[in-house]
Amino acid sequence: MTPSEAILEKHRHRHLPIISAPAGSDAPDLPDFEGVPAEEILEWAFAEFGLDVVLASSMQDSVLIDLAWKVEPRVEVFFLDTGFHFYETIATARSVRQRYNLNLVMLDPVDDPAVWSEEGYKACCAGRKVVPMNNYLKDKKAWMSGLRRAESETRAHAKAVEWDAARGLVKINPIVEWSNKKVEHYIKHHDLIVNPLKLQGYDSIGCVPCTIPGNGREGRWAGSLRVECGIHQMHPAVADQPEPPAAG
């Protein structure tokens, strides 16, 4: 039995409940990992998908990278290089790559005039984040993110393993149940690299024009109705948030 088969067998024996896919959907039945430690969710992910599961990082901290790298050091991590990041974020990406000798892929904004034909936050996020990520994920089987329920109301119902219907992929959120305190403790205990802006009042860090200091995600697109950039939008039939005023 290979190590991957042994891990899959281990999870079969745990008798995890199964989340059944809705009738008529393309989604697979997925195990319900509620209450399962992040390390075991990651073990399952790599055993199930090998290196075809990739990890999205915004370089706010390196918690999920550290956890994943300890399970599979060859993990491919991608970063959406929008061209509008803070210097500190790019410096964090460089430091993290060096510390873990990380297989880090930087994704550039899309080079497609059709995507840039509109103005406003939604179009900007599409061209710099959503479309590059969708293109990159086309030949993958699953993707992981550090999304947590404690971050915002819009994330409060996320599960550890979900079906990303918009992309036809499994999405894995290994630390979805972690509190802010647990994240802080893990960072301290493992002496992890953190974006220095986190120490300057930025709880959530995105692009320079759309980020101010604030608790949770309140500093993102502050003063507009926008609360998510769209990369976590998993239901193509559901309209994106209403388009707020254009960036000033």
Least distance in angstroms from the C-beta of 247 to ligand SF4: 6
Answer for the pair 137, 166: CB distance below 8 angstroms, yes or no: no
User: Taking Cα atoms as reference points, which of 67, 69, 50, 81 lies closest to residue 170?
Assistant: 50
Nearer of residues 209 and 245 to ligand SF4, judged by Cβ: 209
Which one is catalytic: 124, 125, 210, 229? 229
Q: What sections of the chain are H helices per DSSP? A: 3-13, 38-49, 63-71, 87-100, 121-125, 131-137, 180-190
What letter represents residue 72's amino acid?
A: E
Nearer to ligand SF4, 116 or 186 (CB): 116
Burial track 87-96 (b if 16+ CB lie within 10 A, e otherwise): ebbeebbeeb
Report the 10 Å Cβ neighbour count for 157.
8
We find the least distance from the C-beta atom of residue 82 to ligand SF4, in angstroms, to be: 5
Residue 229: active-site member: yes
Which lies closer to ligand SF4 via its Cβ, residue 77 or residue 125? Answer: 125
Positions in the binding site for ligand SF4 (CB under 6 A)? 82, 84, 121, 124-125, 128-129, 206-207, 209-210, 229, 247
Nearer to ligand SF4, 23 or 114 (CB): 114
User: Taking the complex as a whole, how short is the minimal distance between the CB of residue 159 and ligand SF4, in angstroms?
Assistant: 25
**Whole-number minimum distance, CB 80 to ligand SF4, in Å?**
8
Residues labelled catalytic:
229
